[in-house]
Chains A and B, each alone.
Chain A
Amino acid sequence: MNAQQFQHQILCYSDKLYRMARSVLKDESLSRDAYQELMTRLWEKRGQLEMIENRQAFVLASMRNLCIDWLRKQQPNGEIPANATYPAPGPHQLAEEADTVNTIGRMIDVLPEMQRAIVRMKDVEEMEVKEIAEIMSITENAVTVNLSRARKKLREMILTHQQQEKLLYEHHRQHTG
């Protein structure tokens, strides 16, 4: 595989790979490093990549695994760090977060890593359940279950957020009458 082939056959997945790193690591600069690291290794092994049937699945799984491995190493007990619960936004935050789209991004980041990866692969990358199952090494049923959980959790967070906004609005209205 020469440089041009690499460009066409592997670099075409760049954006998805980078977004996968961002999803797992939740950190921009770490993701950039992870991305460079993976691409370097893929370039080094480019000869063997030709033998892989489903390259998209393979490179995405590799990226995810690389990031998860790194996260595990950062923890003394080898666990992936637990996610914080989504804090109900205070008035200050609500006032600042005019960009509700960013809020959604934060909500997704609060989900457990598996749900996060699955909902992004389905809703952002628009991949098929079958392929997601392959990448995550889980059954298609497990994908569906986790997808449902993720989406319902997001709905719950969105509703909570909206309620907080309403309360704040009411409070503000009463006190500025």
Chain B
Amino acid sequence: MNTIDNILDNYFEGTTLPEEESRLKEYFRGNAVLPRHEIYKPLFAAFDKEKQIAAPVFEIPAEKNRKKPFPIRKSWIAAASIAAVTLLLVTLVPFKNKTGTPSGDYTVFIHGKAITNPKKARQYADKMFMQADEIIRTSYEPVVEANAIQTEMDPGRIFDDLSREINHMQSINQ
């Protein structure tokens, strides 16, 4: 039996079928709403109204447009300065914002030296994490393989190799 009362009950249990919800909405849009159901009319009217909210216009860029994430706004500057002060004091909770290098998402120090080139930093970090995962994975395998990977994990050498690769690619692209 699907009277409006039944459907309403199911509605609040979250178990209504899409067709039943359609029916419910049509009912509340109409003029035959029973007095005991009147109270829910604004609820469904609100849903209809929200659906009319439209997005602002997005202009497809004509050429490459490097936008800064979330352009600074007054309210954010205030929030950011508060956050910055808080950050200084409560740095480690739960995972702090490292400002070692301006490479954005990656912070890399090799023997104490910061890697500032974002691309190099990223590639190096990815490779290091991958290598570590590989060591962990193969730690379950015979000793021979583990040793082979261990010797490969020389950060200085990895970095130099990567640098050479990147420089090579960059010179090609020029």
Contact = CB atoms under 8 A, between A and B. Distances in A.
Q: Do chains A and B touch in the complex (CB under 8 A)?
A: yes
Interface residues of B, number: 38
A6 B50 contact: no
Interface stretch (A48-56, A85-93, A122-130, A167-175): A122-130
Nearest to A4: B60
A176 B70 CA distance: 54
Contacts of A11: 58
A137 interface: no
Interface centre among A15, A128, A162 (most CB of B within 10 A): A15
Given A77-B90, A126-B18, A159-B39, 18 more contacts: A6-B60, A11-B58, A15-B54, A15-B55, A18-B53, A18-B54, A33-B73, A35-B55, A73-B83, A74-B83, A77-B93, A78-B93, A100-B42, A102-B46, A120-B50, A123-B21, A124-B47, A162-B39
A82 interface: no
A97 to B, nearest CB: 11
A128 B93 contact: no
Contacts of A77: 90, 93-94
Main DSSP-derived SS at the A contact region: helix
B112 interface: no
B95 A39 contact: no
B45 interface: yes
B15 interface: yes
A14 B39 CA distance: 32
Interface string A136-177: 000000001111100110110011001000000000000000
Interface string B51-77: 101111010110001010111010000
A14 B49 contact: no
26 contacts: A7-B60, A15-B53, A15-B54, A18-B56, A19-B50, A19-B53, A34-B70, A40-B61, A43-B60, A74-B83, A76-B87, A76-B93, A78-B95, A100-B42, A101-B46, A103-B42, A125-B51, A144-B15, A145-B14, A148-B13, A148-B14, A151-B12, A151-B14, A155-B12, A158-B39, A158-B40
